[in-house]
């Protein structure tokens, strides 16, 4: 017969018995000699009881050691691993309390809670965010939803305990690996078959959003339920104004794109998308609409170069234009975010190319304009921007002026440009002398022989534009009607415009807010104030979601730094909890063949008492030793 321990870390406490041993053997009170003039006239008295007092001290030492040993043995939760029935051991009830379970199948969840006990007995509960030994079934509905997955379940519960696992077993949540020999009873909660419309993504019809100008808000809706959606609607709420979509019929895992006409009149508009499907806990999707911020445009030029682009950006309120030398740009690039136009890059060092590539991949825009005297080293540097992508560049020598074709109106890049311009029907628009050619990318302008004049490349999260010919005052393109709108469109598309919302994901979120002073922290305020785990990276705040999240956690939060408001965020449930597809019982049996699927809840009080008998006995022995020690000390004193 073997003994196992539910909390073996408490066994280290037995080492505290060394302290009373030290006190008894090495820290005894020493008697001090008292000088006396003469002992001849004092009557001699025999010493009695010295041996008994020595025996009493040893009994006290043994009682104190036993009290400590029994106490820490009880805290370590020992159990006999003998041939007794597994049901005689105290079971652990694990509730996989993710938001989709507690909220999405709430009726079934509450019904099971009523069946646990006919009376409010106590039960050892274990949830995603921790354990609660004093849990009562009457508090079942108060269990919060938690972010921690069940993957580490068997590393965190007491070992060798029978486990009753209560969950809906969503397919979007991976099942943990079950150790061999584990005793598991599955309590699978299922709800009715239902459709569940979930907002998958949002985007704008335009790259730049201005106040009081109409645009289309596109919404991708996906059915994450278990049956087809019939005659559903999505409503857009902007304050007191509501727009309804047409009827939506959507199969399981299918999606549809819908749009709403929108115009923003304020700096910030709190908006909601509301579906009318039966899965109510995630029917509201929160987001924030804001007009676009000014695009930051940087002209990086060698000393002495003429500036051809100031007239393109300086007179337009949508852009903030500045010229900057390369060395200063490299020093400040962590604080710079926007669109950079670079000339004179043919002589850059490999370190400079690496630094610029990093900046580009972080979500910025870059345009490379070659010089006439292009060298091979410059071509090698351009290749560093692509990091393994199959884009080859070649030098061209002594090429003549070549005509350039009209751009294709169907290209997405030109949607905001070409439709508002009148073009000549002739084939030739303007000419240029190419010094560079390449393969790959999206061609925006092409020469008559189909060789690209201007191409667009996606590099990481950034956008790269490359010209095949120099741009000087003599080049026809700099005097063409498309010169200004093309460069403005490149600057606009370099920064991705996104709808403002966050999802409650385990990885946390990044937030742009002012830098702290001293020990200042961010606070988030809704009905209550929440202070997340957070750190300032030097550029942005890195925050972590709270361990437990209740039903009313999604919504709009005011963000404060040291009591001063710094912004607003919109928070939603993650997509994974909206998925309603669950493992069937047959699938669970195949994945967990050692589990019990009988459905019987063996939570009677006798079974729980017998499992805890050894623990209670140890605590009782510790108390008896402590009381005996007190009685012996009191008797000796009197």
In the predicted structure, residue 636 carries a pLDDT above the cut 90 = no
Residues ≥6 apart with Cβ < 8 Å to 450: none
* Domain assignment of residue 69, yes or no: yes
Among 242-246, 344-348, 362-366, 441-445, whose mean pLDDT is lowest?
344-348
Q: Calculate the average pLDDT of the chain.
A: 80
> 128 and 17: one domain?
no
pLDDT bin (cut points 50, 70, 90) of residue 251 is: very high
Question: Residue 335 half-sphere exposure, CB side, CA atoms within 13 Å?
Answer: 7
Residues ≥6 apart with Cβ < 8 Å to 402: 431, 432, 433, 434, 447, 448, 449, 451
> 271 and 309: one domain?
no
Tell which wins on pLDDT, 425 or 545.
545
pLDDT bin (cut points 50, 70, 90) of residue 157 is: low
Q: In what order do the strands lie in the sheet with 295-300?
A: 319-324, 295-300, 339-342, 365-368, 462-467, 452-459, 442-446
pLDDT value at position 577? 84
pLDDT value at position 90? 60
Greatest mean pLDDT range, 25-34, 81-90, 284-293, 595-604: 284-293
Q: What value does the mean pLDDT take over residues 241-255?
A: 91
Q: Are strands 92-95 and 163-167 parallel, antiparallel or unpaired?
A: parallel
Overall domain count for the chain: 4
Residue 585 CA: distances (Å) to CA of 154, 175, 582: 21, 14, 9
Q: Which helix (H) or strand (E) holds 17?
A: none
pLDDT bin (cut points 50, 70, 90) of residue 378 is: low
pLDDT bin (cut points 50, 70, 90) of residue 607 is: very low
Among 36-45, 158-167, 499-508, 537-546, whose mean pLDDT is lowest?
36-45
pLDDT value at position 117? 57
pLDDT value at position 548? 67
Tell which wins on pLDDT, 85 or 404.
404
**Cα–Cα distance measured from residue 337 to residue 343, given in angstroms and rounded to the nearest whole number:** 19
User: Which of helix, strand or coil describes residue 606?
Assistant: helix
Name the pTM for this structure.
0.70
In the predicted structure, residue 249 carries a pLDDT above the cut 70 = yes
pLDDT bin (cut points 50, 70, 90) of residue 53 is: low
> 130 and 275: one domain?
no
* Domain assignment of residue 367, yes or no: yes
User: Which of helix, strand or coil describes residue 96?
Assistant: coil
In the predicted structure, residue 458 carries a pLDDT above the cut 80 = yes
> 381 and 316: one domain?
yes
* Domain assignment of residue 622, yes or no: yes
> 410 and 516: one domain?
no
pLDDT bin (cut points 50, 70, 90) of residue 600 is: low
pLDDT bin (cut points 50, 70, 90) of residue 603 is: very low
In the predicted structure, residue 276 carries a pLDDT above the cut 60 = yes
Tell which wins on pLDDT, 59 or 47.
59
* Domain assignment of residue 36, yes or no: no
> 474 and 362: one domain?
yes
Sign of CA dihedral 330, 332, 336, 341: negative
**Cα–Cα distance measured from residue 347 to residue 377, given in angstroms and rounded to the nearest whole number:** 7
In the predicted structure, residue 559 carries a pLDDT above the cut 90 = yes
> 610 and 633: one domain?
yes
**Cα–Cα distance measured from residue 231 to residue 233, given in angstroms and rounded to the nearest whole number:** 7
In the predicted structure, residue 422 carries a pLDDT above the cut 80 = no
> 161 and 99: one domain?
yes
In the predicted structure, residue 133 carries a pLDDT above the cut 70 = no
Question: Residue 417 half-sphere exposure, CB side, CA atoms within 13 Å?
Answer: 24
Among 107-111, 190-194, 458-462, 490-494, whose mean pLDDT is lowest?
107-111
What is the C-alpha end-to-end distance of the chain, expressed in Å? 47
In the predicted structure, residue 182 carries a pLDDT above the cut 60 = yes
Query: Contact at 8 Å (CB) between 323 and 340?
Result: no
pLDDT bin (cut points 50, 70, 90) of residue 147 is: low
> 175 and 227: one domain?
no
Among 72-81, 207-216, 485-494, 553-562, whose mean pLDDT is lowest?
72-81
Tell which wins on pLDDT, 2 or 617.
617
Q: What value does the mean pLDDT take over residues 283-306?
A: 85
* Domain assignment of residue 570, yes or no: yes
> 406 and 521: one domain?
no
Query: Contact at 8 Å (CB) between 438 and 385?
Result: no
pLDDT value at position 25? 73
Residue 622, domain extent: 1-28+48-91+604-638
In the predicted structure, residue 556 carries a pLDDT above the cut 80 = yes
**Cα–Cα distance measured from residue 293 to residue 295, given in angstroms and rounded to the nearest whole number:** 6
* Domain assignment of residue 261, yes or no: yes
Burial 415-445 (b: 16+ CB within 10 A, else e): ebbbeeeeeeeeeebbbbbbbbbbeebebbb
pLDDT bin (cut points 50, 70, 90) of residue 575 is: confident
pLDDT bin (cut points 50, 70, 90) of residue 287 is: very high
Residue 407 CA: distances (Å) to CA of 357, 477, 490: 28, 13, 15
Between vectors from CA 582 to CA 581 and to CA 586, what angle results, nearest 5°? Answer: 135
**Chain segment 291-301, per-residue pLDDT in tens:** 988 889 998 87
Which residue in the block uniquely carries the two structure tokens 């850059």? 348
Query: Contact at 8 Å (CB) between 316 and 488?
Result: yes
- The proportion of the chain whose per-residue pLDDT surpasses 70, expressed as a percent, equals 79
Q: What value does the mean pLDDT take over residues 541-546?
A: 86
pLDDT value at position 604? 42
In the predicted structure, residue 606 carries a pLDDT above the cut 60 = no
Chain centroid to CA 114: how far?
A: 34
In the predicted structure, residue 248 carries a pLDDT above the cut 90 = yes
Among 146-160, 275-289, 358-372, whose mean pLDDT is lowest?
146-160
**Cα–Cα distance measured from residue 379 to residue 382, given in angstroms and rounded to the nearest whole number:** 5
Q: What value does the mean pLDDT take over residues 503-517?
A: 83
* Domain assignment of residue 12, yes or no: yes
In the predicted structure, residue 552 carries a pLDDT above the cut 70 = yes
In the predicted structure, residue 50 carries a pLDDT above the cut 80 = no
Q: What value does the mean pLDDT take over residues 224-228?
A: 93
* Domain assignment of residue 210, yes or no: yes
pLDDT value at position 134? 57
In the predicted structure, residue 601 carries a pLDDT above the cut 90 = no
Which residue in the block uniquely carries the two structure tokens 């995630």? 282
> 81 and 124: one domain?
no
Between vectors from CA 12 to CA 7 and to CA 17, what angle results, nearest 5°? Answer: 130
Tell which wins on pLDDT, 220 or 162.
220
- Structure tokens, 474: 């003599």
**Cα–Cα distance measured from residue 197 to residue 277, given in angstroms and rounded to the nearest whole number:** 7
> 310 and 435: one domain?
yes
pLDDT bin (cut points 50, 70, 90) of residue 87 is: very low
pLDDT value at position 234? 94
């Amino acid at each position: 017969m073997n003994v196992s321990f539910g909390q073996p870390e408490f066994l280290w406490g037995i080492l505290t018995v060394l302290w009373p041993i030290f006190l008894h053997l090495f820290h005894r009170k020493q008697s001090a000699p008292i000088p006396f003039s003469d002992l001849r006239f004092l009557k001699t008295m025999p010493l009695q009881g010295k041996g008994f007092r020595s025996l009493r001290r040893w009994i006290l030492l043994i009682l104190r050691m036993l009290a400590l040993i029994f106490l820490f043995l009880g805290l370590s939760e020992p159990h006999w691993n003998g041939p007794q029935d597994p049901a005689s051991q105290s079971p652990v009830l694990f509730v996989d309390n993710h938001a989709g379970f507690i909220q999405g199948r709430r009726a079934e969840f509450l019904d099971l809670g009523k069946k646990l006990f006919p009376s409010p007995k106590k039960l050892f509960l274990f949830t995603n965010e921790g354990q609660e030994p004093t849990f009562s079934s009457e508090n079942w509905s108060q269990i919060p939803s938690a972010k921690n997955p069940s993957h580490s379940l068997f590393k965190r519960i007491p070992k060798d305990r029978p486990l009753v696992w209560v969950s809906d077993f969503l397919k979007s949540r991976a099942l943990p690996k079950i150790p061999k020999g584990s005793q598991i009873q599955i309590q699978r909660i299922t709800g009715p078959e239902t459709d569940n419309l979930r907002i998958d993504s949002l985007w704008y019809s335009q790259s730049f959003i201005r106040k009081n100008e109409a645009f289309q808000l596109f919404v991708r809706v996906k059915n994450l339920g278990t049956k087809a959606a019939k005659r559903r609607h999505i409503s857009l709420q902007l304050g007191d104004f509501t727009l309804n979509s047409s009827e939506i019929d959507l199969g399981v895992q299918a999606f549809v794109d819908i749009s709403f006409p929108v115009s923003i009149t304020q700096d910030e508009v709190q908006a909601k998308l509301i579906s009318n499907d039966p899965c109510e806990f995630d029917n509201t999707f929160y987001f924030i609409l804001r007009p676009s911020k000014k695009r930051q445009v940087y002209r990086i030029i060698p000393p002495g170069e003429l500036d051809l682009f100031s007239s393109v950006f300086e007179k337009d309120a949508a852009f903030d234009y500045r010229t900057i030398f390369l060395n200063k740009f490299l020093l400040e690039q962590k604080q710079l975010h926007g669109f950079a136009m670079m000339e004179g890059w043919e002589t850059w060092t490999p370190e400079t190319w690496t630094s610029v590539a990093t900046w580009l991949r972080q979500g910025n825009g870059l345009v490379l304009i070659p010089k006439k005297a292009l060298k091979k080293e410059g071509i090698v540097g351009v290749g560093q921007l692509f990091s393994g992508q199959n884009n080859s560049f070649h030098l061209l020598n002594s090429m003549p002026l070549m005509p350039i074709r009209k751009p294709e109106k169907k290209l997405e890049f030109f949607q905001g440009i070409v439709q508002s311009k009148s073009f000549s029907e002739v084939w030739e628009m303007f000419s240029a002398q190419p010094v560079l050619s390449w393969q790959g990318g999206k061609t925006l302008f092409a020469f008559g022989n189909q060789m690209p004049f201007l191409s667009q490349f996606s590099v990481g999260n950034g956008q790269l534009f490359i010209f095949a010919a120099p741009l000087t005052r003599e080049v026809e393109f700099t005097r063409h009607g498309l010169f200004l709108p093309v460069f403005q469109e490149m600057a606009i598309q370099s920064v991705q415009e996104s709808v403002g919302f966050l999802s409650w994901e385990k990885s946390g979120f990044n937030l742009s807010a002012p830098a702290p002073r001293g020990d200042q922290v961010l606070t988030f305020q809704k009905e209550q104030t929440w202070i997340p785990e957070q750190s300032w990276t030097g550029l942005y705040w890195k925050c972590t979601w709270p361990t437990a999240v209740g039903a009313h956690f999604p919504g709009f939060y005011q963000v404060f730094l040291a009591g001063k408001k710094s912004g607003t965020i919109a928070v939603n449930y993650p997509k994974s909890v909206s998925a309603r597809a669950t493992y069937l019982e047959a699938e669970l049996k195949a994945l967990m063949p050692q589990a019990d699927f009988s459905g019987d809840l063996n939570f009677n009080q006798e079974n729980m008492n017998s499992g805890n008998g050894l623990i209670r006995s140890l605590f009782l022995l510790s108390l008896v030793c402590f009381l005996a020690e007190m009685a012996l000390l009191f008797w000796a004193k009197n």
